[in-house]
Amino acid sequence: MTPPPAEFSFALPAGPQFTDEQKQAQRAAGQTVLPLVLAAYSNGAAVARIPPGDYRFGSERWGRDGVHYALEFSGLQRDAAHPFMIDATGATFWFDLPDDQAPHAHFACGFKDCRNIIFRGATLDRGTRGQIEGRITQLDAAHNRIELELSPGITVPAKFNDKTEQRIVPFKSDGRFCAPLYALQAGGVHLKYQSITPGNAVGRVFVTMGDTKLLDTLRDPQWQKTYGELGTLQVGDGLSCVYSVACGVELVGSEHCTMDGLQIFITKGWGAERGGVGGHLWKNCYFGPRPGTSRWQGGEGFMFNATRQGTTLDGVVIRHTADDVANVHGYWGHIKNIAGAHVTFEMPGEFRQTVAKDATPGDKLVFRDKNSGAQLGSVTLVAFSNDTAAVDRSVEHFTNAIVEWTDHECANWLIQHCTFQDCYQRLLIQSGPGVVRHCEFTRLGSSLEINSDFPYVEGGVARDLTIADNTFTDVNPRPGGAAIAMHAHTYGREAPPFSNFVITGNSFERYGAAAIALDGVQGALIASNRFGRALAPTAQPLRLKRCTAIREEANR
């Protein structure tokens, strides 16, 4: 898709404003959406058309079976030759989500147990802002705080709980993310704010930081010399202070659904897939701030959670995230007990709602050593009941193990022709096979990261990856950073075996310590990549550690 205009200005308006009477009319209109769709579906129609206009919904509901989305489509199933389309072109869905703070999360639009459904053209936004943003009017190092002139439409909550999402995202006056300052995210503490209190004038607030690292770094002459204006903040630049989390559109236990031309403006409102067959397509969608407004933060990136078939992102634009651009992964099976051919698992919510729910006889279970990642052996699932898997032979000899469910890792995903711009964090890959091609990565705080993290619940081992014909500009431009990087952390701090990478035809500009840094890879072709200017004088275009069978050709 052609990205909406990227221009940013604090002087722009907050966005559409409505009277109480208009909102009430929108709520009444919102009550017509689901009946209209269900009537068309029940009558065997190919399309349900939602007239252009504004529709307003409340918040999600919670029941014994989990979350029910503010707008929920459930059980809509057609065969591949006869898909069902919900055409919402010209319609804007507003969600009055509570303006509270993470770890609470809110859920706007969901598709549950759906198959061969097309959702086209809708715009999703929220009625409350869910973040604090503004122009910097003072850098007060003596008191470890930054004064902001609040952007239009901002309401400051009465208190903050100092938990997961209480961090700042720094950006320049023209909207560019200060990507080098992501270096302070290490440990998750140095970009954390402690409080937001009234400033020296009406419409201004002080953001007090959790420690002094940010303001100390801004005054460091060596830092200023290395990273220039993109790595610093001045009066007139901006901060977005994160505190809320939401899901814009989520596909749960669904198969081969298409999200076509959606615009997601919901603050920190991600797109997500969770469990089921998967194989979905996101085509020409936009996640980011509403163009033409003073909003810096908007829609978020993606979470791809343990589907059998990987997703396709084609022509997707993601701007101004406060977290990952996308995260592709399965879930580790943490073993509670083994008795012969029966394996009892720990059951954290993510594992229970995806892998355990979708487990089917014939699934492959790969046992890996917790410390080295080495494969101990594999078995086939016979049955899964409650928290216990019955497999086709005894596994008592697989000690100190963790289980990889390779059939539930979003395999064969494709990310192509996408634009990722001014984003806080990474494109995180924990599975394969997969392809990233013809994409633009501009000003990302972190990297295209190939990851395997055994102690955590998310995981998988990346394999059979193609990263081709992409451009990386100011991606992970920090001390020690690499545009394409790896993170492999197990209990023993060893690297699991990654294999079969193709990295060709990419262009790198203004990278940190390396353009490509690989660790523990068995077999890779690295060819025809262009390495431009690095930020550090000691930078290496290519850095390899514990790698074997690497072929390098025609890099320049």
- The string of DSSP codes covering 131-192 is EEEEEEEEEEGGGTEEEEEEPTT----S-----TT-EEEEE-TTS-B-GGGGGGGGGG-TTB
Bridging pattern class, strands 448-453 and 427-429: parallel
Contact 333, 370 (CB under 8 A): no
**For position 1, what pLDDT does the model report?**
45
**For position 160, what pLDDT does the model report?**
80
**Strand partners of residue 88:** none
Q: 2: number of CA atoms within 13 Å, CB side?
A: 1
Question: DSSP 3-state assignment of 379?
Answer: strand
Nearest CA among 289, 233, 235 for reference residue 421: 289
d(CA 250, CA 96): 17
| pLDDT digits (tens), the chain, 556 positions | 445 566 899 999 999 999 999 999 999 999 999 999 999 999 999 999 999 999 999 999 988 778 899 999 999 999 999 999 999 999 999 999 988 888 888 999 999 999 999 999 999 999 988 889 999 999 999 999 999 999 998 989 888 877 777 899 999 999 999 999 999 997 778 999 999 999 999 999 999 999 999 999 999 999 999 999 999 999 999 999 999 999 999 999 999 999 999 999 999 999 999 999 999 999 999 999 999 999 999 999 999 999 999 999 999 999 999 999 999 999 999 999 999 999 999 999 999 999 999 999 999 999 999 888 889 999 999 999 999 999 999 999 999 999 999 999 999 999 999 999 999 999 999 999 999 999 999 999 999 999 888 778 898 999 999 999 999 999 999 888 999 999 877 766 666 778 999 999 999 999 999 999 999 899 999 999 999 999 888 899 999 998 999 999 999 9
Q: Model pTM? A: 0.96
**Number of other residues whose CB lies within 10 A of the CB of residue 496:** 24
**Strand partners of residue 468:** 437, 504
Peptide bond into 433 cis (omega under 30): yes
d(CA 556, CA 551): 14
- The string of DSSP codes covering 14-78 is -S----HHHHHHHHHHHTTHHHHHHHHHHTT-SEEEPPSEEEEE---EEETTEEE-SEEEES-B-
DSSP conformation class of 11: T
Residues 6+ apart with CB under 8 A from 31: none
d(CA 445, CA 536): 16
Nearest CA among 141, 135, 142, 153 for reference residue 201: 135
**Strand partners of residue 379:** 365
- Quick one: tokens of 378? 């594999």
- Per-residue b or e along 403-433, where b marks 16 or more CB atoms closer than 10 Å to that residue's CB: bbbbbbbbbbbbbbebbbbbbbbbbbbbbbe
Contact 188, 196 (CB under 8 A): no
The CATH fold assigned to 331-406 is Elongation Factor Tu (Ef-tu); domain 3 (2.40.30)
- The string of DSSP codes covering 310-362 is --EEES-EEES-SS-SEEEEEEEE-EEEEETTEEEE---HHHHHTHHHH--TT
**Residue carrying the six token digits 């100092």:** 162
**For position 102, what pLDDT does the model report?**
80
d(CA 500, CA 463): 6
Residues 6+ apart with CB under 8 A from 251: 110, 111, 114, 257, 259, 272, 273, 274, 276, 278, 280
**For position 493, what pLDDT does the model report?**
65
**Number of other residues whose CB lies within 10 A of the CB of residue 185:** 17
